[in-house]
Structure 1
Amino acid sequence: MINQINNYLSLMRLNKPIGIYLLLWPMLWAFFIATNGQPNMFIMFLFIVGVILTRSAGCVINDFFDKEIDSKVERTKERVVANGKVIPSEALILFLGLIALCILLLLMIGLDILIYAIISFCLIVVYPLAKRVIKIPQLVLGIAFGSSIPMVYIAEIGEVTPSCILLYLATISWAIAYDTYYAIADKNDDLKIGNKSSAILFGAKDISYPFKLHVLTLALLFIVGLINELELFFYISLLIALMLSVYQKILAAKRIPYQCISAFENNNYFGLIIFFGLLLSYIYE
């Protein structure tokens, strides 16, 4: 029984929370910018729980659809659906249970964000299939990962503003950047089995494009800072984040899989630094 619970937790990737962090930072940026540094703590708590649930649901449905592919890829062949420790019907039931909890959270937050929640749900389901069809499935991932931003704005201030749109675009750019590093680690296997990814699309420029996308992300955030008249701390955080982007590019330069994964994971600090810059900006304004 305990082993099976551990298998379910592994299926939800709760033992690897990096995906939660990467979803969390843009959402927290949105909360603080939308409310001028004074978010509704209860609503923010509900959104944090929602991030954990939706990311878990995304991992479950990804492994459900990718069970045959995962079994052929060295890095993923021991995932619990691919190796048979969790059967597909169990994974599907778990996914539906997680979505039911997300719906409960939605009812607690308010139906004003319903349309965005439906779009987010559809993207979660579509993303695993996008890898078979779309040349840059990371774009779908970015749109999904950023979908909490308009929800935050509507839940907190009742409207989508120019800052909201810029934050969303920055999050999409950032997601394509860091997930390209992740995709480089699987590039050879993806080419063999016919999967598509930004790493394959970018070809020999698969290292330089993520850096350029990081720069685009920071440029968009810089504009958000100007619009919202943020303090110097925020711009310092963007500069530090730029240095992290340079480090990630160097880390992934030789395309060694574990170093590319490290470059991907380093983006947690990228998001964290920017959040601290925001926090200090509002504390000392």
Structure 2
Amino acid sequence: MPSQSVPARSRFSLYLDLIRWDRPAGWLVCLWPTLSALWIAADGFPGWHLLVVFVLGTFLMRSAGCCVNDVADRDFDKHVKRTAQRPVTTGAVSVKEALSLGAVLALVSFGLVLTTNAAAIAWSVPAVLVAIAYPFTKRIISMPQAVLGIAFNFGIVIAFAAVQGHVPAVAWWMWLGNLFWVLAYDTEYAMVDRDDDLRIGIKTSAITLGRWDVPGIVVFYLLFLSIWALALDGYALGAMFYIATALALAQVLWHFTLIRTRSREGCFKAFRVNHWLGATVFAGIAGSYLLRWLGLTG
């Protein structure tokens, strides 16, 4: 088997490729809304323990998800230009290896959650189940990006549970808003592979929306930012949050210029830079609490 003949260092390199080590955009778009939820739940800085737990946990679970995704899609990936060289579909990494690595990463992540509280632990179970189920929904659901959004959004739910011991209404409003952000950036991602996906029979939001893909993405972005602005209004975050929201809106306009011609390069770039939009919103939230702590705002 290929896995037995590849030197150890090359094997490690393949594992890094499997978890998308050199492509951090995928886990950063999960991280920023999770950190935003942590700050809101804690009414400011949540402490180093929870910060480390959620940063590492987000990275590990996204990496584990990549392992499961590549196993589930191994017969499809070889027919798609962008994914044809992934290690599982080429046979460089076996299915057993990929699933074993994914299981180890998920277990380490669960170990981190065990250091929090019962509510966070309880919510982590459905989070894992949805993450495992997502890759298979591309065969049966017309907009599997919504399932991905549910999987990614568990970070928000678990963050509130870890801080407050329960999940309040504001968490679910943030959950809903972030679902639209996932729909926006993952539809951009799906636009890159639309021709290949149509040929092999994969279902995606880009295919389902058809010629309404670009306006649909813009609407998704606007719903995300509007829902978060309304949901967090009562937290008196101040001018910095609204300035950050305005800067995020400017990025939405930039995204429109990137995807309006539907070129592969433009759509892929739009997806890859999405984490800056999430980082901007988080900076507005964290910065608002910092100013309050410094006594510079009411």
Please tell me the TM-score bracket, short chain as reference.
Answer: over 0.9
Q: State the match for 1:109 in structure 2.
A: 116
CA shift for structure 1 position 115: 2.8
CA contact (8 A) 1:142 1:176 kept: yes
Q: State the match for 1:71 in structure 2.
A: 78
What secondary structure, in the 3-state scheme, does the structure 2 residue paired with 1:73 have? Answer: coil
Question: Given residue 5 of structure 1, which amino acid in structure 2 is its aligned partner?
Answer: F
Report how many residues are paired.
285
Question: Given residue 118 of structure 1, which amino acid in structure 2 is its aligned partner?
Answer: V
Q: Bigger shift: 221-230 or 21-30?
A: 221-230
Whether 2:67 is the aligned partner of 1:50: answer no
Q: State the match for 1:186 in structure 2.
A: 193
What secondary structure, in the 3-state scheme, does the structure 2 residue paired with 1:251 have? Answer: helix
1:147 pairs, out of 141, 154, 169, with 154
Distance 1:266 1:249 in 2: 13
Whether 2:259 is the aligned partner of 1:265: answer no
CA shift for structure 1 position 38: 2.6
Distance 1:272 1:259 in 2: 21
Q: Bigger shift: 29-38 or 173-182?
A: 29-38
CA contact (8 A) 1:163 1:227 kept: no
Distance 1:65 1:190 in 2: 15
Write out per-residue CA displacement over residues 234-273 of structure 1, whole angstroms, 9 at most, x where no aligned residue: 0111111011011101101111112101111221110111
TM-score normalised by the chain length of structure 1 = 0.97
Write out aligned runs for 1:24-173 (5 A).
Answer: 24-173=31-180
Question: Given residue 171 of structure 2, which amino acid in structure 1 is its aligned partner?
Answer: C
CA shift for structure 1 position 90: 0.8
Question: Given residue 182 of structure 1, which amino acid in structure 2 is its aligned partner?
Answer: Y
TM-score normalised by the chain length of structure 2 = 0.93
Question: Given residue 265 of structure 1, which amino acid in structure 2 is its aligned partner?
Answer: R
Q: State the match for 2:184 in structure 1.
A: 177
Q: State the match for 2:289 in structure 1.
A: 282
Distance 2:113 2:105 in 1: 12
CA shift for structure 1 position 40: 2.2
Write out per-residue CA displacement over residues 97-139 of structure 1, whole angstroms, 9 at most, x where no aligned residue: 1122122112222332233211111111111101111000000
Distance 2:54 2:291 in 1: 26
CA contact (8 A) 1:231 1:282 kept: no
CA shift for structure 1 position 224: 2.4
For structure 2, the 5+ residue unaligned runs are 1-7, 293-298
Whether 2:213 is the aligned partner of 1:213: answer no
Distance 2:41 2:100 in 1: 36
CA contact (8 A) 2:114 2:121 kept: no
CA contact (8 A) 2:192 2:267 kept: yes
CA contact (8 A) 1:40 1:156 kept: no
Write out per-residue CA displacement over residues 179-226 of structure 1, whole angstroms, 9 at most, x where no aligned residue: 000000000111001100110111101111011010000101111231
CA shift for structure 1 position 26: 0.3
Q: State the match for 1:5 in structure 2.
A: 12
What secondary structure, in the 3-state scheme, does the structure 2 residue paired with 1:59 have? Answer: helix
CA shift for structure 1 position 162: 2.0
Distance 1:101 1:110 in 2: 16
CA contact (8 A) 2:34 2:155 kept: yes
Distance 1:51 1:280 in 2: 22
For structure 1, the 5+ residue unaligned runs are none
Distance 1:97 1:126 in 2: 18
Question: Given residue 108 of structure 1, which amino acid in structure 2 is its aligned partner?
Answer: T
Distance 2:120 2:289 in 1: 26
Write out aligned runs for 1:221-232 (5 A).
Answer: 221-232=228-239
Identity within the alignment, %: 34
1:23 pairs, out of 23, 26, 30, with 30
